[in-house]
Chain A
């Protein structure tokens, strides 16, 4: 029996992922405000991207991928919407949105493994549609843009070949169809 005084989970609840798009005034500290709300209330941020999108209107667009129970995710949406510089919060997961991220993946020769691995790395890159943006006699840097799952799989494959370093942008997302935000 639950005997706590605070809200506790009484049944196992399913953790889901959700992507929010947040339109904010591009003012100093706005990112800290949003990131601080997440940390202060104990929510997860799996990925966060931000950039100014409408210069004349001083608007920035933040894309946040987060996870939690349905209740927590609804609270996150309400808490985001409540921040003064936030214009709009959209749940993109409910809109079957396009989600993409970009990764730069550095692969290098390890120990005595040579030619075979280089060939394999290039074959895999071609299969994933990754661009080779840098090459030396012992290394490559690949650029791959796509859904997070593809990026994840590509990185896992490269790990077997000689992964040195990865840089990922985090998710940018936009709803399908003709309608704007």
Chain B
């Protein structure tokens, strides 16, 4: 299947060939030919964002909620540099993105032309791979390769920089076919003997724990299913990172809740005290491990990861298995089934007893109030009133994000979109737009903070233009809450620049964007107000006025180990726990 067409037409044709139905972009001088080609077709819907960062986050939300590749089109220079934050976010969280950037014509490259920047140079460090297309003959191959690289192995963002003259040139288009990359061959199948060794360790365990991550979500819904089957077969407790929420259902008795800096007491103590740790698709991130030399000191560790460089990077493990989480889980399940020992259920009973005693501490509890909405209460009510619907949640970054992770419970994968690795404020609203486009009938809520939401507020225009009924639920405490919390704990309560002054009136702001605004500050009226939000058929900004100085607990303070957590009933000065070295950390 070969055909002659212009470079711009090839871009659009390749998108069609890769089943791209939605494209997030912003036009400009260096991509005009591609926009012209888009104008003359109907199969790819272009969503006009209001800032290129929003385009990438929208594509991330689209990709993470649908399992497809998110596609972005931006112009040269500022278009490309504005996309950098989104690309870095996608790299850190392993989200498949293909981003087309326009470039000045080849003969002007290097001349500091208008809207020129070294896009491949700038994005080399924040993409899985990138390309500058210098010959029209290379364009079709590069696009097909880019889609393959973005979605296969450990997914990530790929940039294709296309000079304007190449977009005009005519050449021969060839279809995707089977991509055989010259050098890139991700290992999908785990080593059978290593998996057998892992299962042998699991079978001998007296205090086991599953620690799962975003890799299970990336491996597809089938992997989550296999995980559930394996966990239930073993009867082992299971916890997950922020990125892995939903892979295992939160309503299940084997579920311990999220682990890490703001994870539950039972999850963190189980990690600390286990004798066998089974890490599936997580990467021992510093938010998870806390103090490294005191991390799970007595355990033998199994690590399943598709990225060989993740194994033994932060934590030495006994059995490293390189492969796709879904494939490895399937083999683990099969071997475990064959070798299962009925006595093990009895052997791990004391461990469960211990875990249940930790659970009884109820580490997510908080002081309730009749006068003011507690942020935890707001998320709890939001969850209670939406759990029977097909609900997708995105977040911004900060306290509200952690409260959402703690109090909104997920039973399905791909329902939770958050910026984990990079921690990008301003992620949630554009991501929600992407999710809504992928799931037009779903209820999509961005749980936000009043500071974060202002970072990409302009995307309300996008939501309005395409009539996307996203719900922005702002936990408004008039502070950059996580910054304020750390200043309280570490800097003597000197709240340097963390107060949100001169906030807009969010209800009027909603109206200015052709959306509905709701404000609520009374716990007694909260349920009715949330119902109003859900029932409204268009976009809503919900300004939820919450307790201003609530701290996000439980928490592993900087420089401390899992068994040194602060629980909500802690009475002392938290700042006194953290020593001078801990204060230097983030």
Contact = CB atoms under 8 A, between A and B. Distances in A.
Interface of A: 2-8, 10, 24-25, 28-29, 32-33, 36, 40, 71, 74-75, 78-79, 81-82, 84-87
Given A29-B132, A84-B128, A87-B183, A5 B559 contact: yes
Nearest to A39: B125
B308 A78 contact: yes
Interface string B129-149: 100101000000000000001
Contacts of A8: 292-293
B501 interface: no
Contacts of B184: 84-85
Given A25-B182, A29-B124, A33-B124, A74 B312 contact: yes
Contact of A85 (B183, B290, B579): B183
Nearest to B307: A82
Given A84-B183, A84-B184, A87-B183, A4 B132 contact: no
Given A29-B124, A32-B121, A74-B312, A84 B149 contact: yes
Interface residues of B, number: 34
A3 B579 contact: yes
Contacts, number: 73
Given A3-B291, A87-B182, A81 B585 contact: no
Given A25-B182, A33-B124, A81-B309, 20 more contacts: A4-B582, A4-B584, A4-B585, A5-B286, A5-B291, A5-B559, A7-B292, A7-B314, A29-B120, A29-B124, A32-B121, A36-B125, A74-B312, A78-B311, A79-B309, A84-B149, A84-B181, A84-B184, A85-B183, A87-B182
A7 B293 CA distance: 8
A6 B120 contact: no
Contacts of A81: 308-309
Contacts of A87: 182-183
Contacts of A79: 309
Interface of B: 120-121, 124-125, 128-129, 132, 134, 149, 181-184, 286, 290-293, 307-309, 311-314, 558-560, 579, 581-582, 584-586
Nearest to A78: B309
A2 B307 contact: no
B298 to A, nearest CB: 17
Nearest to A74: B312
Contacts of B132: 28-29
A79 B584 CA distance: 28
A3 B582 contact: yes
Nearest to A7: B292
14 contacts: A3-B579, A4-B582, A4-B584, A5-B290, A8-B293, A29-B120, A29-B132, A33-B124, A74-B312, A75-B312, A78-B311, A78-B313, A84-B129, A84-B181
B312 A5 contact: no
A3 B125 CA distance: 31
Nearest to B120: A29
A105 B184 CA distance: 42
A81 B312 CA distance: 15
A82 B585 contact: no
Contacts of A74: 312
B475 to A, nearest CB: 26
B308 A32 contact: no
A45 B308 CA distance: 22
